[in-house]
Amino acid sequence: MTVHTGITSATDTTSATPATFSASTTEEKLGWLVQGLLARTPGARHALVLSRDGLKLCSTPELSVDQADHLAAIAAGIQALSHGASLQFGDGTGDVRSAMTEFYGGILFIVEAGEGAHLALVTTEDADTGLVGHNMGQLVEQLDGHLSAPPRRP
């Protein structure tokens, strides 16, 4: 799977036009962005970027590989259910802005982060939901269409 991103690091001398990177390079490029999201969001515990079909693209180091894969599958499932609700009860497009699941001990937030990609964030249960949404929105704006995860082909 390839991911298209135009994000460059401060030491990157290549142009900022979209390029194709392997999944491991994408994880390196996005890692500092999701770490920054955790750092500036009080109560944030874990973050990851995932494809629509549940493939983890990048996660914060506090998540083990198994936890990150599990969270990616959960987030993809919630987004799929939200898509179905939008088709049936929304404007019929199936578009989903965000989903939030509140559970004992935390909250899971999921937002679109580009074509076929989502950003998921787990926080403590007392996190400021407005600030969380704002900070996630800022990160998605930073990505601003540079991140896409096209569907995998069999």
> Both tokens of residue 94?
């199936």
- Which tens digit of pLDDT belongs to each residue from 95-131? 888 999 999 999 999 999 988 899 999 999 999 999 9
Instruction: Over range 54-67, report the average pLDDT.
Output: 93
Q: Which residue has the higher pLDDT, 39 or 21?
A: 39
Instruction: Over range 9-35, report the average pLDDT.
Output: 53
Q: What is the pLDDT of residue 15?
A: 34
Residue-averaged pLDDT of the chain: 81
Task: Indicate the pLDDT class of residue 70, thresholds 50, 70 and 90.
Answer: very high
What pTM, to 2 d.p., does this model score? Answer: 0.78
> Both tokens of residue 48?
């990851």
* Nearest 10 degrees: Cα torsion 97, 72, 83, 126: -50
Q: Residue 59 and residue 32: Cα distance in Å, rounded?
A: 10
